[in-house]
Every structure is written in C-alpha cells, then in structure tokens.
Amino acid sequence: MSPTWWFTNNTNETGTMSSDNEASNTTSPRPDTFDIIDLSPATVFTNTTYTFQAQATNQSIIQEIMVHYWYNETAQTDLTLCFHEGVWDASIIFAPNATCFWYLFYIRDSTGAWNEGAQHKVSIMLDGGDGE
C-alpha cells in the first residue's frame, strides 16, 4: 500500500461579523489541508530508470512538488515534478552501481510554505529476466 502524507497549513481568513449596533472585522485561522499519495514503487527491478509519482487531494492549494533524492554515496539532488492528468511525476536514470536510494517530497502550498514528506528507501534489484 502506498503511503499517504497529510499536511495542514494555517491561513487567515477575514470575515465580517455584525450586530445591531456595530460591525467589526475578525480574523480566524482556517486550516487548508491536502494529502499526498505516493505512487512510486518501493522496489525497482531494473538498473536504469525510476519514475517518482504522486497524487494530491485538494490540488488547488499545491503550487509545486519537488523530490529530494540520493543513492549510494552520491550528492543529494532536487528535481521538480511535472503535473499532468492528475499526477505529479518525474524520472531519473540511475548510476550503474546503484543498489538503493532514498527520497522525500517537498510540497509548496498556495501560501508559499514548503512542507516536507516522510523519507523513503527504494531497493534496486537487477532484473534477472525471470519475469518477476
């Protein structure tokens, strides 16, 4: 089962309250929430390409999703995911000696705040050609 990450962002929404004698503006916090569903595979049976994929609920408050990843002892890399047909995705090509890698998503919401998801580890298995 794919992990789901839940985020809450507090934004301010100004409302007007009135009585018979006066009108006043009040500011109250309004949480905006979204879920990120990671569709990326946990194990890869190849040694070439991997595609990060995520779906989001309440898509209207998400401005950008980036993936931060690293493997073996390589430098850490950031990659912006593209959005099309309801899915955010981006692909990378592994180095020939990669055996596993780690990644996490960063999500920028409509307020400009960045939210960090959980870290995930992916095993890279050489495809032995047995169809499994």
CATH number at residue 74: 2.60.40.10
Domain for residue 43, yes or no? yes
The tens digit of pLDDT for each residue in 74-132 reads 789 999 999 999 999 999 988 777 888 899 999 999 899 999 988 999 988 876 544 44
3-state helix, strand, coil in the chain (%, to 5): 0, 65, 35
DSSP 8-class letter at 85: T
Range(s) of the domain holding residue 47: 34-124
β-sheet bridge partners, residue 87: 84
Is residue 60 classed as helix, strand or coil in its secondary structure?
helix
The tens digit of pLDDT for each residue in 25-61 reads 444 344 468 888 999 999 888 768 899 999 988 888 8
Domain for residue 14, yes or no? no
Domain for residue 62, yes or no? yes
Domain for residue 22, yes or no? no
Q: Give the count of domains, the chain.
A: 1
Domain for residue 8, yes or no? no
Euclidean distance between CA atoms 59 and 50, whole angstroms? 24
Please say whether the beta carbons of 34 and 65 come within 8 A: no
Please say whether the beta carbons of 50 and 64 come within 8 A: no
Q: What is the pTM of this model?
A: 0.69
Domain for residue 111, yes or no? yes
